[in-house]
């Protein structure tokens, strides 16, 4: 039954513009990162670029493969997390915005399958976006001739990216719940933006490692010095948040009155 | 619930905060019957339909469809039910065919039915058109096709004739009649169209302020509410002579007589009264239709 539900959830994305827009958004990260790398590689030309050159210099970028991967991990930690929230709000919130929730919820299918299938769709979507990002980054890095590529650096760089993307995905389930609770897009997107801001602020404090939305920025080095490894406690906080968000979404679809 | 019941509710009620939307609703709809719920805006029709479909949790009571409880955790019953709640909706980015295909897969219905229902509801010219490019009438047809696609035994339809043109309304009425008469499908519908309800339904439940006021058979009501009203100088004697001449159902109301079961006998009524030497002041054939009756039962036009 689950494969049937999953198939229909994928089917719902046909001709959906946001699929392509989001993939385009994923491809912006490596391109922008590549531009910064190029500026760092070519400081004379960077000087001609004025402000952009100054910013790239202030960020303390080094034009190497580890530097490029670090930049991409930061992008995934901030923009990627917001993008996953947008995708999740779309996948769940559209059922309310399009008034199709009342069609979906009278199917001979346990309602939790819809929640799980939608989260799998978000995961697949995010994996495709991250895959695209990695492939594009490889091309850009090679084209720029960035130094310092070894198999272990490549493996560590990709692993960091995947971990940041994975945490961003785990934090999508509260967004899913708020889409069902708010019956649309506004509440989940507002929540995602507020959490991103709070997460970056708290990341600079000692509490950051216990606040789910600070953990990716901390790990990516956006909110202060980069944490090389994630504490088990931090991962537990993320996993618990994911589980609570998923349980709340299932409860919302199962027990709340669907008056839309 | 008896074996012949398709839909049964017991003490069904719903409270939204302090507002009691539905009170102690006891309904029993027989298999193969077309039952219409009639009520003003806010009478509780849509809340009742949502409770039947498990979209809203009852505050009191329970619902059984085809002998099984229905609710968010009892979704298997939806395999035998088709529904349309409020306005017709569909996935806007999918075509008519894709919307039906999606529903077919979820209900586990064999392939081939999509083409059948596209054809049956005259959606062929729009089969490859996106749902957001359909007219309201065709969107309604798509929603009806989706409700019927998996050959349900029970149909729960909120305003099924919404947005349809007059020919479409007749077409859907005939379709629902056929499903009920030939395939034993039970149809539970709500409608604002009193004319439509009186033409289609076997039984009508009038709801007002969340309560079921009365259940009636529209065809019987039509006979009951057709009568001739006469004003005469001596109502008692006129009543007696009319009954002696074979008009058994004569009642007296505020000095006037109502002669029931008298369609086409106006001339005979006048002759009997005049021949008895009673002065006849007026004679008016009256047809008190379902609309008049509904308005009387639910407090007039106020």
Name which of B55, B89, B107 is nearest A105 (Cβ-Cβ): B55
Predicted confidence band of residue B290 (pLDDT cuts 50, 70, 90)? low
Task: Render pLDDT for B105-155 as a digit per residue (tens, 0 to 9).
Answer: 999 898 889 999 999 889 999 999 999 999 988 999 999 999 999 999 999
Is the domain covering B5-216 a CATH 3.40.50.1970 domain?
A: no
pLDDT of residue B195: 75
pLDDT of A253 higher than 60: yes
Instruction: Report the mean per-residue pLDDT for chain A.
Output: 87
**Residue A175: inside a domain:** yes
Element (H, E) at B82: strand B81-84
Considering CB atoms only, which of B72, B91, B108 is closest to A12? B91
The answer to the question of residue A171 being in a domain is yes
Domain spans of chain B, in order of start: 5-216, 222-297
Q: Read off the pLDDT of each residue in B242-255 and give the average, rounded to a whole number.
A: 82
Instruction: Give the residue-averaged pLDDT of B239-267.
Output: 82
CB atoms within 10 A of CB B224: 15
In a domain, A172, yes or no: yes
Contact check, Cβ <8 Å, B94/A11: yes
Q: How many of the other CB atoms lie within 10 Å of CB of B229?
A: 14
User: Other C-beta atoms within 10 Å of A190: how many?
Assistant: 13
Q: Which of B19, B21, B55 is the mutation pick for testing A, counting most A CBs within 10 A?
A: B55
Question: Looking at the complex, does the CB of residue B108 fall below 8 Å from at least one CB of chain A?
Answer: yes
Taking contacts as CB-CB distances below 8 angstroms, the residues of chain B near A252 are none
- Are the CB atoms for A130 and A83 separated by under 8 Å? no
Task: Specify the 3-state DSSP secondary structure of A142.
Answer: helix
Which of A227-236, B51-60, B139-148, B279-288 has the least mean pLDDT?
A227-236
Nearest neighbour of B91 by CB, restricted to A98, A253, A255: A98
> How sure is the predictor about B14, in pLDDT bands with cuts at 50, 70 and 90?
very high
Assess B107–A contact: CB distance below 8 Å, yes or no.
Answer: yes
Q: Has residue B301 got a pLDDT over 70?
A: no
Maximum distance among all alpha carbons in chain A?
66
Cα–Cα distances in Å, from A170 out to A85, A190, A244, B218, B244? 10, 18, 11, 58, 87
At residue B223 the predicted structure's pLDDT band, cuts being 50, 70 and 90, is: low
Q: Distance between CA B117 and CA B97 in Å, rounded?
A: 10
The verdict on B87 touching A (C-beta cutoff 8 Å) is yes
Contacts of A55 (CB under 8 A, 6+ apart): none
Q: Is A5 on the interface with B (CB under 8 A)?
A: yes
Residue-wise pLDDT for A5-60, tens only, equals: 999 999 999 988 899 999 999 999 899 888 888 888 877 776 776 656 555 555 56
Confidence (pTM): 0.83
pLDDT at A116: 96
Q: Is B37 in contact with B45 (CB distance < 8 Å)? A: yes
Question: Using CA atoms, how far apart are residues B150 and B110, in angstroms rounded to an integer?
Answer: 9
How many domains would you assign to chain A? 1
B136 to chain A, any CB pair closer than 8 A? The answer is: no
Single out the residue of B91, B184, B165, B139 nearest to residue A102, CA to CA.
B91
Is the confidence at residue B229, as pLDDT, over 60? Answer: yes
Task: Please say if the pLDDT value at position A205 is more than 90.
Answer: no
d(CA B194, CA A188): 43
The pLDDT value given to residue A248: 96
Q: How much is the pLDDT for B220?
A: 58
- More confident: B302 or A201: A201
What is the per-residue pLDDT for B257?
Answer: 87
Cβ pair B221, B53 in contact under 8 A: no
Q: Which residue of B has its CA nearest to A94?
A: B91
Q: Which of A154, A168, A169 is nearest to A69 (CA)?
A: A154
Q: What is the pLDDT of residues A131-148, one digit of tens each?
A: 999 999 999 999 988 888
Strands B81-84 and B154-158: parallel
Is residue A260 situated within a structural domain?
A: no
* pLDDT per residue as tens digits for the range A239-248: 999 999 999 9
| Interface membership of B128 toward A (CB under 8 Å) | no
Residues of A in contact with B49 (CB under 8 A): none
Which H/E stretch holds residue B297?
helix B290-297
- The fold adopted by the segment(s) B222-297 is Alpha-Beta Plaits (3.30.70)
Cβ of A107 within 8 Å of Cβ of B73? The answer is no
Q: For B27-84, what is each residue's pLDDT tens digit?
A: 999 999 999 998 888 888 999 999 999 999 999 999 999 988 887 778 888 889 999 9
pLDDT tops 90 at residue B99: yes
| pLDDT band of A62, cuts 50, 70, 90 | confident
Task: Take residue A230 and report the two structure tokens written for it.
Answer: 């994630």
Q: Cβ B56–A258 below 8 Å, yes or no?
A: yes
* Statement: residue B102 has pLDDT above 60: yes
| Least confident residue range of A59-63, B84-88, B149-153, B258-262 | A59-63
Put simply, the answer to whether B78 touches A107 (Cβ < 8 Å) is: yes
Report whether pLDDT(B85) > 70: yes
Average pLDDT, chain B: 86
* Mean pLDDT for the stretch of residues B243-252: 83
Give the nearest chain A residue to B156 (CA atoms): A106
Q: Which residues of chain B are within 8 Å of residue A258 when distances are taken between CB atoms?
A: 50, 55-56
- Give this complex's ipTM: 0.85
**What is the extent of the structural domain holding A70?**
2-255
Q: With contacts defined as CB-CB under 8 Å, which chain A residues touch B79?
A: 108
Average pLDDT over residues A106-113: 92
CB-CB contact of B22 with B47 (8 Å): yes
């Amino acid at each position: 039954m689950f494969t049937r539900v999953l198939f229909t959830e994928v089917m719902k994305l046909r001709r959906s513009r946001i699929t392509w827009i989001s993939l385009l958004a994923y491809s912006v990260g490596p391109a922008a990162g590549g531009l910064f790398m190029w500026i760092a590689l070519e400081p004379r030309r960077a000087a001609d670029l004025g402000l952009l050159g100054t910013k790239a210099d202030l960020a303390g970028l080094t034009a190497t493969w580890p530097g490029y991967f670090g930049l991409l991990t930061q992008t995934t930690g901030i923009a990627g997390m917001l993008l996953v929230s947008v995708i999740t709000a779309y996948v769940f919130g559209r059922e309310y915005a399009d008034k199709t929730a009342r069609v979906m919820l009278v199917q001979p299918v346990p309602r939790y399958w819809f929640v799980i299938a939608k989260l799998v769709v978000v995961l697949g979507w995010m994996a495709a976006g991250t895959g695209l990002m990695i492939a594009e980054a490889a091309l850009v890095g090679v084209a720029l001739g960035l130094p310092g590529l070894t198999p272990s650096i490549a493996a560590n760089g990709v692993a960091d990216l995947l971990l940041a993307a994975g945490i961003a995905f785990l934090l999508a389930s509260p967004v899913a719940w708020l889409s069902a609770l708010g019956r649309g897009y506004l509440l989940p997107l507002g929540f995602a933006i507020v959490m991103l801001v709070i997460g970056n602020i708290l990341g600079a404090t000692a509490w950051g490692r216990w606040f789910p939305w600070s953990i990716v920025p901390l790990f990516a080095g956006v909110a202060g010095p980069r944490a090389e490894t994630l504490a088990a406690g931090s991962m537990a906080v993320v996993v618990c948040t994911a589980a609570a968000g998923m349980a709340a979404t299932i409860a919302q679809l199962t027990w709340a009155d669907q008056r839309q | 619930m008896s074996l012949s019941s398709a839909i049964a509710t017991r003490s069904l009620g719903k409270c939204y905060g302090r507002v009691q939307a539905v009170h102690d609703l006891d309904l029993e709809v027989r298999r193969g019957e077309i039952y219409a719920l009639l009520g003003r805006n806010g009478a509780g029709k849509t809340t009742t339909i949502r409770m039947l479909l498990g979209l809203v949790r009852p505050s009191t009571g329970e619902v059984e469809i085809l002998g099984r409880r229905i609710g968010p955790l009892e979704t298997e019953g939806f395999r035998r039910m088709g529904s349309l709640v409020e306005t017709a909706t569909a996935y806007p980015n999918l075509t008519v065919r894709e919307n039906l295909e999606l529903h077919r897969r979820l209900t586990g219905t064999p392939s081939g039915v999509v083409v059948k229902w596209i054809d049956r509801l005259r959606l062929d010219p729009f089969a490859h058109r996106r749902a957001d490019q359909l007219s309201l009438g065709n969107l309604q047809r798509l929603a009806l096709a989706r409700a019927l696609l998996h050959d349900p035994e029970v149909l729960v339809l909120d305003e099924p004739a919404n947005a349809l043109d007059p020919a479409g309304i007749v077409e859907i009425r005939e379709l629902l009649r056929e499903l009920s008469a030939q395939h034993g499908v039970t149809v539970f519908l709500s409608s604002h169209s009193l004319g439509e309800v009186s033409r289609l339904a076997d039984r009508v439940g009038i709801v007002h302020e969340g309560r079921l006021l009365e259940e009636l058979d529209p065809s019987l009501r039509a006979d009951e509410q057709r009568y001739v009203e006469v004003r005469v100088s001596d109502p008692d004697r006129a009543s007696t002579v009319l009954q002696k001449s074979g008009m058994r159902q004569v009642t007296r109301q505020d000095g006037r007589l109502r002669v029931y079961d008298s369609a086409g006998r106006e001339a005979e009524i006048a002759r009997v009264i005049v021949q008895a030497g009673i002065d006849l002041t007026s004679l008016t054939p009256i047809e008190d239709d379902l609309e008049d009756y509904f308005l009387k039962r639910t407090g007039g036009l106020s």
